[in-house]
Structure 1
Amino acid sequence: MIDSTSDKKDLSWFYLISSTSLVMSITALLFRWGEEPMISFSGNFQMNNFNEIFQFLILLCSTLCIPLSVEYIECTEMALTEFLLFVLTATLGGIFLCGANDLITIFVAPECFSLCSYLLSGYTKKDVRSNEATTKYLLMGGASSSILVHGFSWLYGSSGGEIELQEIVNGLINTQMYNSPGISKKKWFQPILVSNYLLNISHKD
């Protein structure tokens, strides 16, 4: 709305509004430090000191990213509002990932900021390298997302149809899936599964 009603040459307002919103989010997060853990959104999201550390880092990086991108946006002559929208949406996805408490949120939150990463990598449409990077990033992201969903389906089925993390742990203990012959005989495969999950998360970042 501000973009459609304001002077196109006056770009300082957009940076000011985006940076101010991020600073206010950091301030609210710091005021909440030390409070009791809280679970919201019907158990889909949780807040505690450990999660808030990573949320603070994400907000701080986004706050620094916006002023550092001023010269880049001016050189490329691309639309500013879309760029800021992608950065803020990616930040929101990262914050939700830090507090995710179930499989659905763990999947949707990385997709939120990964899609924005695809758009940011191809933001300069006139650059051939940007278009190539977007295509490769999209293909790798689709493959990693499918592998991640496949792993989630194992957890969902093995825990008896649970999606919350603590309920999944309780379900695996109750069904004694961790003690089954098919799993105990293949413990050599566990480091590969862990490394694959970390690669998926790092790729989404």
Structure 2
Amino acid sequence: MPVKKKTAKKILYRNIFVSAVALILIAGLVLSAVLGFADFLVSGEEQTAPPVGEDYLSTLEDLAASLEETLAASPYDAELKMRLADLYLELAMAHGSLGAAESRDAYVQKGEALIQQAGAEFPEQHAIFILKLAILAAFYQDDAIRAERFFREALVLDGENAQAHLYYGIFLALRERGADARLHLEKVLALEPEGSELAVLARAYMEGNALNLPPSP
């Protein structure tokens, strides 16, 4: 049965957003990259990402192996655990793009296990770990109920977290809850200085209307 155009477009934007999330988690978005992503959203052109190359995949796997060795020597390093968890999610996305569902799911599970472990060991950073679990559930595991619970908990812990508002807003828009999504994206603009990476991305989603948001009241 052919996929409806509207559904296909939603899947496309969700896949693009997963790529953006992975970049944020691993290295952080530089402004030029964000502006390029914003241009894509505003143009509304349906493009496909190039397939992941073997060299790229090999580089990620080598880096993961190196971080695993470092973590074995420093098992209580929270920052290192988060870097490795983020890398596992990047590997999950890479394997998923190649159609390797089993490998993708294995890396998602490894990433989640590290996030859960770090959250238990470092409760003072609980809000950070909860947001990561929300992103994981929303954009890697397609678990809407769990994602909603984690996003709400993250915002209860820190209602001024612009990243949480951005990700939650996009999650809501993809679930066709446009009015609620716009409120969270507008909150990003209220919290972030004009021209910041998160503000540029939030504005691109709203003004380009890639997610079919309703107009402001």
Q: What TM-score do you get using the length of structure 2 for normalisation?
A: 0.31
Structure with larger RCO (C-alpha < 8 A, sep 6+): 2
**Structure possessing the higher radius of gyration over alpha carbons:** 1
Q: What TM-score do you get using the length of structure 1 for normalisation?
A: 0.33
